Amino acid sequence: MKTNDTKLTAYALNELPETERQAFEKELTPETRKAVEEIRALAGQLNAHYATEGETCLTDEQRETIFAAARKKKEKIIPFPRYVWMPLASAAALAGIILYVSLPRISGPTDRAVEVAGRMESTATPTDKRIRTDVDPFSSTPSVTRPKMELKKPAIKMKKSAKPKTLRRIARGRPYGKRSDAGAVSLYMSADKFEKTDCYGVTRTDSLTARPWGPSIENYAEIRENQFLRVINQPLSTFSIDVDTASYSNMRRFLKNGTLPPKDAIRIEELINYFDYNDAPPTGNTPFATHLEVSSTPWNPKHKLVRIALKGFEIEQSERPALNLVFLLDVSGSMNSENKLPLVKRAMTMLTRQLDERDRVSIVVYAGASGLVLPPTFGANRQAILDALKRLEAGGGTNGGQGIELAYRTALENYNKEGVNRVILCTDGDFNIGVTQGGDLNRLIEEKAKSGIFLSVLGFGTGNTKDSIMEQLADRGNGNYAYIDTFSEARKVLVDEMSGTLLTIAKDVKIQVEFNPALVAGYRLIGYENRMLKTEDFNDDKKDAGEIGAGHTVTALYEIVPTGQPVNGIPPVDELKYQISDSAPVRSDELLTVKLRYKEPDGDTSRKIEIPLRNVERSFESTSDDFRFATAVAGFGMLLRDSEFKGDLTYGQVIEWAQSAQGEDGFGYRREFIELVRNAQAIGR
Amino acid sequence: MDKEKWISSLVKRYERPLCSYAFSLLHDFERARDAVQDTFLRLCGQKPEKLKGREAPWLFRVCRNRSLDILRKEEPVCPLSEPQEASLPSEEKTPDEQTAHGDLSQLLPRFLSKLPKNQQEVIRLKFQQQLSYREIAHCTRLSESNVGYLLHTGIKTLRAQMINL
């Protein structure tokens, strides 16, 4: 009998509770007694076997790190890494499944070995440790060795139209899938694979399948598309600007791989703001110029489309302020693939060419522990920076929280009042040790942001990109978030648009639009779903909002329903019987007024700007190139998101508008966009 | 109790067992050490009185979770050193030849490596780490009776193979 059999083993191994043990003992027969003897003999052999097994222990440095942490008692550490997903409501339910799926696989590492044979070269070598452990990550005052000054190098002029860029070629191979798992989490493992591995009795040949190993864990927070709102109910629309571009490059990665991106990976405002527009920079003393334009909506001619564009002032490379940059690099094991740490290194090597003797660069790495691998070094001392980069290797777990502490501390110690102080976090976003829970990490960052240090988050890699975590971090840390999938993207972010990425010219920029009810019945903001603010937040200087960098363009599009047209297809509700709106609409030919609030980069009180937009009738075809191109990008985003407002919009139309609005396109980004739309069109079929 | 002392005594006591356990999951010394270091770092965030009496299962459980995280997170790489018996089956002597040479000690690891992985894991936790069923259950997130069953089945298989010689 099975239960009794199990009990027999438990008895032999002294695992039965005392009362049960006594009862069981009485029932023993000579036969079962013999079995007990055998089990105990085997147990002895097993004990002996394991006792002779080769042993390993921690390195002295690792032990020291632990003892140092023990001395530092107040370290906040979250017990279980899995919960890193928990704050993400949409992913939470699925997290358990992933764990379950990956668990049996892990118990069978030898199977895995067969699947991935031939990857030996990438195995971490023991030297990986060097970087992480030769610096005491916990010492409160990192020893700063002052580097010798090198000869002055001429500053490199940075102008966007400098040279045309070679175009990235887009794979146009046969698409193999329509949309990657639209949910927050996609599992590559098929059901039969799951079953096979679940029962553990996998033979080695069983697992010789070409399927990617394990689950791919990419997190995207759900985006609920902004709806049409009635002006009668909500005359004000308030949101924070967003200069992130990550969603675009992430979308590009999917399309180049022949799949449509998950819906929630598409943030339309980030697609639009990926591009550089030709709006005129400011002439007065405001940090940015505001441009408004209106026409009919191409996908719904009865509606109007309004473009609001902010253009930050531009700074010549030679006039830019000094930089105090602290690179915070994730060197955990997961960064060990060609499109991660090696790409980070190449990107940074490229950036160092832009630096000179005014600037200071430090590098903090974090994995299981964190350390300062490059103490603050003058930008002109390029060799020292390059040497430090060369030494970087990936390996170990990811303690984001601790590294962030050290990075901000380093930035603060070298704080340059006149210059730019910024932490640049390069990661795949998978924090799993230390302060990891979304809320805690966000609070930590928010706290640090108050010290006047800005944050840039550069996301790398695929497979476990925690898009939503990285976006939130940048959001909280007064920063921007870019996703770097290719070398050209690294160049765009760190070189071509370096000043936009690094030099914040205004912070907490909020937009509030007031619509004129005499002319507008309803409106819908395209994108910016996770940037919406409450009406009262606009005048509240304590409420955080987005930052704008030098030369940045921020574009927002509103689809507007003129009076007399139904909003969402529903006629207006009856007038209230017990409340009379005492104020008749003011007579005005203005469609709307855009109100902006912003703070100086180091300021605490905001300033306000108001710009009205007059109602004009204009066809879409007669609008500016930038208007049509932004509309094309928005339309593409709506198609990828399968928006309920896309009407009869087609990829073909998007291509047509984009082609008509290609303009100068010095870097070829717009051409690449058209290629991407073609890719999507091919996959969508 | 002084926390520093508490930590250092636990490091002393469990460093090697945890390393070999992590190694059995990760098949790589470097990463096993990382997992163990992380485990102890996390221990530093715990209150001694809270873990009193269940330090071992706590450590093994965290170590296990860390190892699984590393496995899940990292791209799979070929283990640096696989157990010999798993990688060199053809060149080995047959069981009969080995018995003839009185080489019984070579057979046990070989039979062990043929067991399903989950049975191997609980057997290791039981006989290498001397954990109780309950502690193993806590570490592996299985039920106690499930642990008992896996151990029983594993031992039964091993016993049958040893007897059949």
Residue A518 amino acid letter: A
pLDDT value for A268: 95
Question: Contact, A118 vs B75, CB < 8 A?
Answer: no
Question: Contact, A530 vs A235, CB < 8 A?
Answer: no
pLDDT value for A585: 66
Q: DSSP letters along A415-478, please?
A: --TTSEEEEEEEE-S---SSS-SHHHHHHHHHHHHTTT-EEEEEEE-SSS-BHHHHHHHHHHTT
Which whole number is the average pLDDT over A359-388?
A: 84
Q: Which of B45, B112, B148 sits opposite A77 (nearest CB)?
A: B45
Domain finish residue from A37, A52, A67: A52
The least confident of A321-335, A529-543, A601-615 is A321-335
What is the domain-level CATH number for residue A638?
2.60.40.1230
State whether residue A97 sits within 8 Å of chain B by CB.
no
Tell whether A498 is covered by a domain. Answer: yes
Query: Dihedral, CA atoms, B11, B14, B18, B21, nearest 10 degrees?
Result: 170
Whether residue A493 is found in the same domain as residue A509: no
pLDDT value for A47: 77
| pLDDT confidence bin for A356, thresholds 50/70/90 | confident
What is the domain-level CATH number for residue A457?
3.40.50.410
Whether residue A603 is found in the same domain as residue A463: no
Whether residue A490 is found in the same domain as residue A510: no
Is residue A295 over pLDDT 90?
yes
Whether residue A350 is found in the same domain as residue A424: yes
Domain finish residue from A461, A480, A502: A502
Distance from CA of A463 to the nearest CA of B (A): 9
State whether residue A284 sits within 8 Å of chain B by CB.
no
Express each pLDDT in A218-244 by its tens digit: 678 788 889 999 998 889 999 999 888
State whether residue B107 sits within 8 Å of chain A by CB.
no
Whether residue A418 is found in the same domain as residue A513: no
Which whole number is the average pLDDT over A189-199?
A: 32
pLDDT value for A145: 37
Is residue A127 over pLDDT 70?
no
pLDDT value for B81: 38
Is residue A119 over pLDDT 60?
no
pLDDT value for B82: 39
pLDDT value for A513: 96
The least confident of A50-64, A210-224, A649-663 is A210-224
Tell whether A577 is covered by a domain. Answer: no
Is residue A206 over pLDDT 60?
no
Which whole number is the average pLDDT over A333-344?
A: 79
Tell whether A609 is covered by a domain. Answer: yes
Whether residue A326 is found in the same domain as residue A444: yes
Whether residue A594 is found in the same domain as residue A665: yes
Whether residue A540 is found in the same domain as residue A664: yes
pLDDT value for A150: 37
pLDDT value for A685: 61
Q: How far apart are CA A626 and CA A245, in angstroms?
A: 17
Question: What is the interface size between A and B, counted as CB pairs within 8 Å?
Answer: 239
ipTM of the complex: 0.81
The residue in chain A having the minimum alpha-carbon distance to the alpha carbon of residue B126 is A47
Q: With residue A372 as reference, give the H or E element that holds it.
A: strand A370-378
Is residue A128 over pLDDT 70?
no
Q: What is chain A's mean pLDDT, rounded?
A: 75
Express each pLDDT in B63-98 by its tens digit: 999 898 888 876 554 444 334 344 334 444 455 554
Q: How far apart are CA A260 and CA A243, in angstroms?
A: 23
Is residue A526 over pLDDT 70?
yes
Express each pLDDT in A411-420 by its tens digit: 999 888 888 8
State whether residue A123 sits within 8 Å of chain B by CB.
yes
Whether residue A494 is found in the same domain as residue A522: no
Question: Contact, A253 vs A676, CB < 8 A?
Answer: no
State whether residue B1 sits within 8 Å of chain A by CB.
no
Whether residue A555 is found in the same domain as residue A484: no
Q: What is chain B's mean pLDDT, rounded?
A: 79
Q: Which of A63, A112, A217 sits opposite B76 (nearest CB)?
A: A112
Whether residue A642 is found in the same domain as residue A535: yes
Express each pLDDT in A153-167 by its tens digit: 333 333 333 333 333
Tell whether A195 is covered by a domain. Answer: no
| pLDDT confidence bin for B51, thresholds 50/70/90 | confident
Q: Which of B70, B142, B145, B163 should be substituted to probe chain A, the one whose Cβ sees the most A Cβ atoms within 10 Å? A: B70
Whether residue A267 is found in the same domain as residue A285: yes
Domain finish residue from A456, A486, A502: A502
Name the most confidently modeled range: A263-277, A442-456, A479-493: A263-277
User: What is the domain extent for residue A38?
Assistant: 2-52
Number of domain units in chain A: 3
Q: Which of A36, A46, A211 should be substituted to probe chain B, the one whose Cβ sees the most B Cβ atoms within 10 Å? A: A46
Whether B34 sits inside 8 A of A368 (CB atoms) is yes
pLDDT value for A665: 78
Q: Which domains does chain B have, with CATH numbers?
A: 1-77 (no CATH), 93-165 (1.10.10.10)
pLDDT value for A621: 92
Higher-scoring residue by pLDDT: A155, A637: A637
Q: How far apart are CA A327 and CA B17, in angstroms?
A: 37
Of chain B, the percentage scoring pLDDT greater than 70 comes to 79
A 10 A CB-CB count for A353 gives: 13
pLDDT value for A430: 67
φ/ψ (deg, to 5) at A162:
-55, -55
| pLDDT confidence bin for A78, thresholds 50/70/90 | very low
For chain B, counts of helices (H) and of strands (E): 10, 0
Tell whether A183 is covered by a domain. Answer: no
Is residue A183 over pLDDT 60?
no
Question: Contact, B113 vs A373, CB < 8 A?
Answer: no
Express each pLDDT in A21-30 by its tens digit: 888 888 888 8
| pLDDT confidence bin for A298, thresholds 50/70/90 | very high
Tell whether A497 is covered by a domain. Answer: yes
The least confident of A5-19, A148-162, A319-333, A617-631 is A148-162
Q: How far apart are CA B25 and CA A42, in angstroms?
A: 23
